[in-house]
Amino acid sequence: MVLRPRAIVQTKMRRAYRGVVEKAIEGNTWKKFSNPTASRGNTVWPKSQNDQESIGIRFDYDGEVSRSDGVYHKFQIQPNAGKIPSTFKDWRDNHGGTHAVMASAFVKKDGTKEDVWSGLERAADAIVGGLDSDD
């Protein structure tokens, strides 16, 4: 099977984002998503400048959303500034900078580690699906 350029970009983005999700659920970090203390519009994770650059994207809290199966915390996934991994840098440069929203993630309120993983992982489809063919 020969991968076309779009498929290669999608594969790289999915792999890069999956690495971020794995870091987001390490240790007790996942609890920041199931019970965030950040105010709406503020970054939940990663907080430090060094972490933001090494990880490449951030999760900004966007309030609670009610759905038929419960209440969820909404996070806007945005690229960071500075020297970030090339996959996220390319997206940032092609989609309006650091204020552009890559996707939204929904995590069950007071959820488990698995709920956090599931909510963050589901956002990958929106990120990968939103890639333009010229990326």
Per-residue pLDDT reduced to its tens digit, 57-77: 999 999 999 999 999 999 999
The answer to whether 56 touches 81, Cβ cutoff 8 Å, is no
Number of domains making up the chain: 1
CA dihedral 33, 34, 37, 40 (to 10 degrees): 70
In a domain, 134, yes or no: no
Rounded distance, CA 10 to CA 54, Å? 20
Rounded distance, CA 42 to CA 39, Å? 6
Q: Is the pTM of this model over 0.85?
A: yes
In a domain, 135, yes or no: no
In a domain, 75, yes or no: yes
In a domain, 119, yes or no: yes
Q: Tell me the average pLDDT across 85-102.
A: 91
Residue range(s) defining the domain that contains residue 24: 5-129
